[in-house]
Amino acid sequence: MRYKLFGEHSGLRVSELLLGTGNFGTRWGHGADLEESRRILDSYAEAGGNFLDTANGYQFGEAEEILGSLLEGRRDDFVLATKFTMRTNPESGILATGNSRRAMVVSVEESLKRLKTDRIDLLWAHASDGVTPVEEVVRGFDDLVRAGKILYGGLSDFPAWRVSRAATISEIRGMVPIVGLQVEYSLVERTTEQELLPAGFGLGLGVVAWSPLGGGMLTGKYRNGESGRREGFRGNVFQEENTPQRSAILDAVVKIAGEANVTPSEVAIAWVASKGVLPIIGPRTVAQLKNNLAAAKLRLTGEQISRLDQVSAIPLVFPYTVLNNHGTRELYTGGKAELFDRPVRPVA
């Protein structure tokens, strides 16, 4: 496994694949027990993985509890990221959820106990609640860093304009920076590319992608009648093969997998990685983990990436319907659009 610098606002050296632990535990009625979780973590570590992603509410808190037990004696070998915002269990009320500083502090204190650690390396706001000012979120991160409870803060499932505002506020007010952005991203969920990925890259954030397999759809297993997230997680964060385009996407993934003598999962994960995003893999078994880890060795050719890009392309939205038009580019480059070398990284 290779390592990447996590964005431009931290010195964190993280593995190119994150291990998501939503399957650590069985309180949701679907997942891995303690011993299978141990084997998954051990195998991930043996492969060189060092970036763990969990949340207060995964398996109603059991995922953090299992991680806390499994990390004893080797806590410092990993970058440990968890989240707040969502309910931890069915008893979590309105004051314990959302993006407020109160919910943040309560969630962090409880997560530290479950994880059996004195610090969280990266705390994600799990999702935008749409009502808490981002100033409060950023200040909450800053206070927790100064208190030694967390080291870094990041935003997951936030609109791009809120991400930009939070990053700007932290910069101009001299608070700890927002270092990361977590989004859903896969060959069957590319709307992220239009606003969120340019915002993340332009602001120098480390960008990670959850569900790079579309909830398992891109493995092709559901075509064979297998079960998985579609049933085990009650259909949550699962992408159906329910359009002609999605069937064409999976057909292309399967064909390229055959050409490269790899699995469809490896192709789908490698495509996400080719876009400069760190994929989160969330296996339920060691066999799934090893298959996912193999994607780190796969380098898709430019021609293969182009084929996948074309079959999964989505319509542009405004203002890109205008800005990406060749005629418009000719107007704002003085007729030299084809001769102008645009920067690789988006400019904020």
What pLDDT score was predicted for residue 234?
55
Within 10 angstroms of residue 177's Cβ, the number of other Cβ atoms is 23
Please choose, from the candidates 102, 103, 120, the residue with its C-alpha nearest in 3D space to the C-alpha of residue 111: 120
Please choose, from the candidates 268, 172, 170, the residue with its C-alpha nearest in 3D space to the C-alpha of residue 216: 268
Burial class (CB in 10 A: 0-12, 13-18, 19+), 193: middle
pLDDT in 10s for each residue of the chain, 348 residues: 999 999 999 999 999 999 999 999 999 999 999 999 999 999 999 999 999 999 999 999 999 999 999 999 999 999 999 999 999 999 999 999 999 999 999 999 999 999 999 999 999 999 999 999 999 999 999 999 999 999 999 999 999 999 999 999 999 999 999 999 999 999 999 999 999 999 999 999 999 999 999 999 999 988 877 666 555 555 566 788 889 999 999 999 999 999 999 999 999 999 999 999 999 999 999 999 999 999 999 999 999 999 999 999 999 999 999 999 999 999 999 999 999 998 888 988
271-275 long-range contacts (CB < 8 A, ≥24 apart) are 271/187, 271/300, 271/305, 271/308, 272/185, 272/186, 272/187, 272/209, 272/212, 273/16, 273/17, 274/300, 274/305, 275/185, 275/193, 275/197
What are the structural domains of the chain? 3-310 (3.20.20.100), 315-348 (no CATH)
Of 58, 152, 185, 222, the active-site residue reads 58
82 beta partners: 123
Which residues have CB under 8 Å from 239's CB, separation 6+?
A: 186, 188, 189, 211, 214, 215, 217, 246
Which residues have CB under 8 Å from 299's CB, separation 6+?
A: 270
Residue with tokens 């593995």: 15
Sign of the dihedral defined by the CA atoms of residues 243, 269, 231, 191, in that order: negative
Which residues have CB under 8 Å from 164's CB, separation 6+?
A: 199, 203, 348
| Pair of tokens at residue 215 | 């909830």
| Pair of tokens at residue 17 | 């694949």
Contact 63, 25 (CB under 8 A): yes
What pLDDT score was predicted for residue 171?
97
Q: Is 58 a catalytic residue?
A: yes
CA separation for the pair 154, 325 (Å, rounded): 34
What pLDDT score was predicted for residue 113?
98
